[in-house]
Amino acid sequence: MTLPRKSYWGFAALGLAAIVLIAWFILHKKPADVAKAHPVPVSVAVATVKDVPVSLTALGAAQAWNSVLVRTQVNGKLLRASFVEGTNVRAGQLLAQIDPAPYVAVLLQARGALERDRALLRDARLDLGRYKTLAKQDSIALQQVSTQATLVQQDEGLVHIDEGVAAAAQINLRWCRILSPVSGRTGVRLVDPGNLVSTSDTTGIVIVNQIEPIAVTFTVPQGDFQHLSDLSEGFQKPLTTVALSQDTNASLGSGELSIADNKVDPATGTVQLKARFNNAGRRLWPGQFVNVMLTLQTLEQKVTIPSGAVSQGPNGAFAYVVVAGKAVVRMIKVGWNQGGTAVIEAGIKAGETVVTDGQMTLMPGLPVRVIGQPPQAGRVS
């Protein structure tokens, strides 16, 4: 069946009118009206004014301020170890005892030879005095006086040699008592009593680490190094340094940076630095990896917001500010952003509320509902 031409055009006009009406409804329906029934859940924070420390962070490692491998300086049998592994020792404290008997015997021999040669020297000097008197009386030849004077010099040389041998024997005997060169903490004993130890042994007896104070070493790029050098007046002025746990980010102690290497590593473009920590609580241990934070300066009384509130767009940084329950976009100028805190130089005032989470589903003008707060009356969440 074929519709009359007038009926066909009538249906077409009716359809076109319906399309125009639907399009007008879509175009003129306010987004806010739709969003009013479905506010976007967000987390917020209030911009505050506070002092903000500007810091530099790096990966560091704790190391003993002094680490000494205690080795024997004489050969012999290790009679005993006088320290407990893993305990503190004082500088000069007895750590081990080498059998002293052979060195006592050598010292006695050296002292005996010294006494003998001293006696010979005394006799030679007496004879020289008598010969000089007789020579003045022309009773003996001058050659005999000269020969006796030479003998006295030889005996004096022998006495000096004997004194040196006796002193060396005394030193070796003293070295049979192995003392701690520094105050610190002992490690695991590296050789057991009863073993023969030698000056050529590279293993040693024990390692003593000085951990009070302790050092933390780390590297910084050469650009940051120059800035640190300027702030510390060429590392003559200590910079406050904090060691943080890599597991919990908790502070392990505060120290001072005052030591910088004398070169830039050409392979990495970094400079090694060393900070000194008193480590009274012994929370730092040699070989422990830590995060190092250097306080460079303090920005006083700055407007701050959480770093999570800062977003990046094609025109720069921006943040959503909650005004009358709706999201408003603000272009902002960030002066410093570190440690979860952003310093705002322009765009946000203290006391304003910013969105810290939920920005991905936000658009300018959409209503918001703060997570954790009940929905306002008249709204359906």
Is-contact 322 43, C-beta < 8 A? no
Indicate whether 144 and 266 sit together in one domain. Answer: no
Inside any domain, residue 381: no
pLDDT value at position 24?
A: 43
User: For the domain that residue 123 is a member of, what is the CATH number?
Assistant: 1.10.287
Residues 88 and 187 in one domain: yes
Identify whether 20 is part of a domain: no
**pLDDT tens figures, 192-251:** 999 999 999 999 999 999 999 999 999 999 888 887 888 788 888 888 899 999 999 999
Residue 150 within any structural domain of the chain: yes
Tell me: do 249 and 190 sit in the same domain: no
3-state secondary structure of 202: coil
Structure tokens at 293: 């934070």
The domain of 338 spans 38-52+301-370
Q: Are strands 368-370 and 40-46 parallel, antiparallel or unpaired?
A: parallel
The whole-chain average pLDDT of the chain stands at 87
Residues 158 and 186 in one domain: no
- Does the pTM of the predicted model rise above 0.85? no
Whether 186 and 281 share a structural domain: no
Are the CB atoms for 303 and 344 separated by under 8 Å?
A: yes
Same-domain pairing of 89 and 183? yes
Summarize pLDDT for 44-103 with one digit per residue, the tens.
999 999 988 888 889 999 999 999 999 999 999 999 999 999 999 999 999 999 999 999
User: Looking at the domain assignment, is residue 88 inside a domain?
Assistant: yes
Domain of 311, CATH number, reads 2.40.420.20
Instruction: Name the percent of the chain lying above pLDDT 90.
Output: 64
- Is residue 376 a part of any domain in this protein? no
219 with 194, same domain: the answer is: no
Q: How confident is the model at residue 146 (pLDDT cuts 50, 70, 90)?
A: very high
Q: Indicate the number of domains in the chain.
A: 4
For position 83, which CATH number holds? 2.40.50.100
pLDDT at position 209 is 97
pLDDT band at 12 (very low <50, low <70, confident <90, very high): low
The structure tokens listed for 121 are 């020297």
pLDDT surpassing 90 at residue 26: no
Q: How many CB atoms lie within 10 A of CB 28?
A: 7
Select the highest-mean-pLDDT range: 138-147, 210-219, 223-232, 254-263.
Answer: 210-219
Within this chain, do residues 191 and 246 fall inside the same structural domain, yes or no? no
